[in-house]
Amino acid sequence: MSDSTRDVASEWAREDLSALQARGLRRGLEPLDSAQGPVVTMGGETLVNFSSNDYLGLAASAAVRAAAIAAVERYGVGTGASRLVVGDTLAHHRLEARLAAFERAEAVLLFNSGYAANTGILPALVGPGDAVFSDALNHASLVDGCRLSRAKVVVYPHADVEVLGSALASTPARRKLVVTDTVFSMDGDVAPLRGIVEGCEAHGAALMVDEAHATGVLGARGAGLCEELGLESRVALRMGTLSKALGGQGAYVATSRVVADLLTSRARPFIFSTALPAALCAAAEVAVDAVEKDVELRERLWRNIRRFAEGLRGLGLRAEARSAVFPVILGEPERALDAARRLREAGVLVKAIRPPTVPEGTSRLRFCLSAGHTLGHVDLALEALRHVGVHDRGTSW
Ligand code: PMP
């Protein structure tokens, strides 16, 4: 008798899992038993959380919760269809208008996640015969968007404007699109955006940026690196997420009306996926208000960022206060896993980040600061790091 299809698949999985295990790359889940925030409970322990992208502590804030609850009462939970069918609500349109004002953009289009936005936008704009130029440390969703587009993909060395410029000059293509994170998600450094914009302008290329870790963190109004540098109107597509500093779920792109119209007709994750729940739209609207008006939130985040950067330098580690993300690069996966385990014993929750999320040999602890952390929390993490005695292996580029 032949094997059941279940046995066949299980055998594949056993084979691949043991290979991952041998390299320290097997992953597992560990649920929280609390709301997201600076302090969480996990496995019966209370831990200070340094692995969340909830940079402003809005995920569980009273105003955001209340907005979501009110929208659930009005619209229910599921949207029942994609936006182009019958899943579109006034809450989606209100949020798009609010985000367009926040981003000072002609148009904003929502996506269900940052992953959906990036894998949808790139293939909608470029295809065979075109070229997309992508930073070597761009987020996986941009990498996958590049692959799905079937355009020629030119990966330029991290943050290297010179190489990007020569690649733009020497690559023949119908359309040229440059794509970069603004704050790099695993390193916390910032793209040389002015140089990238100038390179694009010199070579007739369009530019798309991913502001996932910059929205709510950078810029006087919290609108990201483009705002900080006054480059909003020179960047064709500015993608941001609702899932990090905005404390919810979903994503958006700020762009021109005509590009938003094209994406509405062509971006596959937009067309073929059920609309974002209205409650998440209503929650995000309140979160954007908080980002713009509650300046103290961002001040507290930056107070924590500065304290942590200084403390890391005091421990002999390299650190720049440029975003809420701080890598401590340890090398092999086991070293990062071991350091995470020991920090956890000291009450500090920081997850080990391993390949393929980061390049081979650069497994790390990735600390994320939040406005919700007290200085006491920040000092606890520093003290735990001192105790564990980690030695940073430098940056990953
Ligand atoms: N872009 C970047 C730079 C990210 O870090 C992430 C999430 N980790 C995403 C996109 C994907 O966003 P989402 O989690 O909303 O799918």
Ordered by where they begin, the domains of the chain are: 30-59+294-388 (3.90.1150.10), 62-293 (3.40.640.10)
pLDDT class of 295 with cuts at 50, 70, 90: very high
Amino acid at site 340? A
- Helix, strand, or coil here: 77? coil
Contacts 24+ apart (CB under 8 A), 68-75: 68/248, 68/279, 68/280, 68/282, 68/283, 69/279, 70/282, 71/278, 71/279, 71/281, 71/282, 71/283, 72/279, 74/278, 75/277, 75/278, 75/279
Residues with CB under 6 A from ligand 1: 113-115, 118, 139, 141, 181, 185, 210, 212-213, 241, 243, 251
Tell me, what's the pLDDT at 319?
A: 94
Tell me, what's the pLDDT at 269?
A: 98
How many residues are given for the chain?
397
- Structure token pair of residue 331: 């090398």
Tell me, what's the pLDDT at 391?
A: 67
Active site residue ranges = 185, 213, 244
Q: In testing the pocket of ligand 1, which one of 115, 246, 351 has its CB within 8 Å of the most ligand atoms?
A: 115
Atom 7 (ligand 1): residue with closest C-alpha?
Answer: 114
Distance (angstroms) between ligand 1 centre and the Cα of 150 equals 21
Which numbered atom of ligand 1 lies nearest the CA of 243?
Answer: 15
Tell me, what's the pLDDT at 393?
A: 65
Average pLDDT of the chain to the nearest whole number: 96
Q: Phi and psi for 153 in degrees, rounded to 5? A: -105, 120
Atom 11 (ligand 1): residue with closest C-alpha?
Answer: 114
What span, in angstroms and rounded, lies between the C-alpha atoms of 344 and 355? 21
**Which residues, in sequence order, are bridge partners of residue 321?**
none
* Res 272 pLDDT > 80: yes
Tell me, what's the pLDDT at 390?
A: 79
Distance (angstroms) between ligand 1 centre and the Cα of 137 equals 13
- Helix, strand, or coil here: 225? helix
Distance (angstroms) between ligand 1 centre and the Cα of 113 equals 7
pLDDT class of 58 with cuts at 50, 70, 90: very high
**pTM for the full model?**
0.97
Which numbered atom of ligand 1 lies nearest the CA of 116?
Answer: 16
State mean pLDDT over 117-133.
98
What span, in angstroms and rounded, lies between the C-alpha atoms of 46 and 53? 19
What span, in angstroms and rounded, lies between the C-alpha atoms of 260 and 375? 42
Which numbered atom of ligand 1 lies nearest the CA of 181?
Answer: 3
Atom 14 (ligand 1): residue with closest C-alpha?
Answer: 114
